[in-house]
Amino acid sequence: MTAATAASASLAASREEWLGKAQTLSEALPYMRRYAGQTFVVKYGGHAMGDERLGEMFARDIVLLKQVGINPVVVHGGGPQIGQMLDRLKIKSEFIDGLRVTDKETVEIVEMVLSGSINKQLVQLINDQGGQAIGLSGKDGELIEAKKVMRTKRDPDSNIERVLDLGFVGDPYKVNPGMIRRIQDAGLIPVIAPIGFGPNGETFNINADTAAGAVAAAVGAKRLLLLTDVAGVLNKEKALIPELSVEQAKACIADGTASGGMIPKIETCIQAVEHGVDASVILDGRVPHAILMEIFTEGGAGTLIGHK
C-alpha cells in the first residue's frame, strides 16, 4: 500500500467516525428538546469516584447537560474515602443496616471529607471541563434539615425489640428548593455534600442516595439518576430489567428479586417518584458516558422506575 493510499484509507475511516458521531447527535436532538429546562438530580459515588478517567468523563457529561439546557444537580457520596481517613486516624467505625455508626468524633471527620476534599475535587473537575460549579453541603443556606435516624432490632431468642443508636446519622426532613433554584438561575451547577443540620444545630451524616432522592423530590426533578456499581436492577436470571413500574419495583423487593444494597436504592427511587419525580434510574457509573446513554438514547443504560 502506497503512502497516498494509506492516507486516503485513513481519511475515509475518519469520515466514517465523524459521520457516526453526527448521526448520534442528530438522534439525541429530540431528547434535548424534551428535557430542555428540566432539572436532573445525579447521585455520584461508588468506585467511579476513585477512577480519574471516569471522573473526568462524568464531569464532562454534567457540563454537556448544562450546555444543552438541562439543569443538573449533583449529590455525591464518599464512603470509601471516609473509611480511608478514619483508618488513617485510627478511628474505628461499624455499620448497622448499611449505615455507618457516627459518633461526635466521627461526624467531624465525615463532614471534613465530604464537605471538604471530595466536594471541592468534584467542583474542580466540573470547572476544568468548562462548567461553573459551586460546592455546598446541606448545612449551607439551610439546604437540608435532617432528623436523627432510629433503628430497632428484634432479638431472635426473646423476641424483644431494642433501639439501636446510630449516633449522628440523619434522614432528610426538609429540603430548601429555593436555595437550589437561585444557584441554577445564576447559571451554576450545584454540587451537594450529604451533610444536614438538626433542629438543635447538630450535624448529621446522610446517606447520599437518600439525600439525592429528597433533593430530587423537593425541586420537582424530571429524573433522579443513581450511579452505582451494578448495571441496574437484575432479574433472577441476572439479566438487566430495563423498566419497572412503582408496583413492579415493590414486587421485586417483596419476592426477593432485589436483595442487599439494591433494596434501599429501589426504595429511594420509589419514594422520589411517589413524591413528584417523573422517573428514577439506577445505572452503572463505571460505564463511560452512562448518563448520556440513559438520557439521549432510546434504549437507556439502566433500570428506569416510574409510573406506567
15 marked as part of a ligand binding site: no
C-alpha to C-alpha distances, 118 to 20, 75, 122, 123, 160, nearest whole angstrom: 36, 11, 6, 9, 41
Kindly give the residue spans of alpha helices, DSSP state H, lying in the chain.
Answer: 3-35, 52-67, 79-88, 104-111, 119-128, 177-185, 208-219, 246-254, 262-274, 290-296
Contact (CB, 8 A) for 239 and 295: no
**Annotated binding residue at 78?**
yes
Q: Is 182 annotated as a binding residue?
A: no
Range list of β-strands (E), 85-207: 95-96, 99-100, 133-137, 144-154, 161-175, 189-193, 195-197, 203-206
Return d(Cα 287, Cα 300) in angstroms, integer. 12
Is the CB of residue 102 less than 8 Å from the CB of residue 205?
A: yes
Residue 235 labeled ligand binder:
no
Question: CB of 238 within 8 A of CB of 203?
Answer: no
The annotation places the binding site for substrate at 78-79, 100, 205
The annotation places the binding site at 78-79, 100, 205
